[in-house]
Structure 1
Amino acid sequence: MQASIHTFDESDGFGSALLDDGREVTFTGRVFAASTLRHVRPGQRVSIVLGPDATTVTRLWIVGIGPEQPIR
């Protein structure tokens, strides 16, 4: 699923993203650190996986960055 970064706190890696239907979901610093990204900016498109509660992100990445993520 894709979303757009809404907020991002560089100091702790916590942030939120907006789904295409307008819902806001959050991600923790731990999820951001696991993404191996160094920074994201508001409006940036990312791919995400939501947890069972459908309000928190369990995985975050940008297609084309990271192992097995070829740019097409």
Structure 2
Amino acid sequence: MTADTESIPVAVDGEALNLPVPVRCTVQAGALRVRVPRDRPGTPVEVPAMAWRRVGRLALGRTPAPRSGGDR
């Protein structure tokens, strides 16, 4: 990147700096990790796995067992 001045203001990792021109930037695959909220707009909704044992108990009129991670 070039400019009509000797340096330009830039931000690197949130820090404000003045870098001499020309500024050279490179792109490296996987070099940047971006964190975004899980419930951001446009995120597909994951459907939870079906708890077949629980469905069977409900169908047979039995009292459902307490929910746990192994009840799938």
- Rg comparison, structure with higher value: 2
Higher relative contact order (CA 8 A, sep 6+): 1
Where is the strand percentage greater, Structure 1 or Structure 2? 1
Output the TM-score relative to the length of structure 1: 0.18
TM-score (norm 2): 0.18
